[in-house]
């Protein structure tokens, strides 16, 4: 679901190059941290802010294609004064070309657009082709963590993952929040409505499970 257009958002993002990257530069010292994480489709930033606060030694990069939504997230990040977050207002396919040699320990896919119509399935983030790109951005021991309220996208992702060379470390159609995890705005709303949350952890097939 797209947010309401905010005229102030694009200028605000442009005025904060120390936080909002345009473009992503893999040689930026920010990415020299020993542990890197990427959230694709970060929405209003609740998840990335919570994770960055819990894990101050991990550096987080958040992608969001909607500049109005990104504007709201960027304001939250600026107000938090956390130094281990950077943002990019771009979709994954575009940002992938910029990330180049970057290697992440974890990639988070939180409540991605399910694109429910059959003719739109190629737009989903978890197609084989996009998962292959994500695999190229992962360290050998890295993981992708997927959460959704949409059971069809959950099933689709379980189907596509092995086609892209991933092993399923664990998967559940009724995920109970773990202490180290953080809820997104969507997850809070869905749980308040009694909706079940699905979750998948996957890794390159050569990686060992950390269960």
Packing angle, helices 92-99 and 128-136, rounded to 10: 30
Please tell me the distance from the alpha carbon of residue 20 to that of residue 12, in angstroms, as a whole number: 9
Q: Is 113 a catalytic residue?
A: yes
- Partnered with residue 39 across adjacent β-strands are 62, 108
Q: Find how far residue 71's CA is from the centre of its chain.
A: 17
Please tell me the distance from the alpha carbon of residue 62 to that of residue 49, in angstroms, as a whole number: 10
User: Do 129 and 167 contact (CB within 8 A), yes or no?
Assistant: no
Per-residue pLDDT tens digits of the chain, which is 211 residues long: 455 788 999 999 999 999 999 999 999 999 999 999 999 999 999 999 999 999 999 999 999 999 999 999 999 999 999 999 999 999 999 999 999 899 999 999 999 999 999 889 999 999 999 999 999 999 999 999 999 999 999 999 999 999 999 999 999 999 999 999 999 999 999 999 999 999 999 999 864 433 3
Of the listed 113, 149, 170, 181, which one is catalytic?
Answer: 113
> CB within 8 A of 54, min separation 6: which ones?
180, 182
With CA atoms as reference, report the closest residue to 98 among 82, 86, 110.
Answer: 86
CA distances from 122 to 64, 101, 153 (A): 19, 25, 12
Please tell me the distance from the alpha carbon of residue 207 to that of residue 167, in angstroms, as a whole number: 8
With CA atoms as reference, report the closest residue to 25 among 85, 97, 81, 130.
Answer: 97
């Amino acid at each position: 679901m797209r947010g309401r257009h905010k005229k102030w958002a694009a200028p605000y993002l442009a005025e904060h190059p120390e936080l909002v990257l345009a473009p992503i530069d893999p040689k930026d010292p920010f990415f020299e941290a020993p542990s890197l994480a990427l959230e694709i489709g970060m929405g209003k930033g609740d998840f990335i802010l919570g994770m960055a606060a819990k894990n101050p030694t991990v550096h987080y990069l958040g992608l969001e294609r909607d500049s109005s939504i990104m504007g709201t997230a960027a304001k939250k990040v600026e107000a938090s004064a956390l130094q281990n977050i950077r943002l990019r207002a771009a979709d994954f396919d575009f940002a992938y070309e910029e990330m180049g040699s970057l290697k992440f320990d974890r990639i988070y896919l939180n409540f991605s657009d399910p694109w429910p119509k059959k003719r739109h399935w190629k737009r989903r983030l978890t197609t084989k082709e996009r998962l292959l790109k994500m695999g190229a951005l992962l360290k050998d021991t890295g993981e992708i963590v997927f959460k959704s309220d949409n059971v069809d996208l959950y099933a689709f992702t379980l189907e596509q993952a092995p086609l892209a060379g991933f092993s399923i470390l664990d998967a559940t159609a009724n995920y109970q929040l773990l202490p180290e995890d953080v809820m997104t705005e969507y997850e809070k709303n869905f749980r308040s409505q009694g909706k079940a949350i699905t979750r998948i952890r996957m890794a390159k097939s050569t990686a060992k499970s950390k269960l």
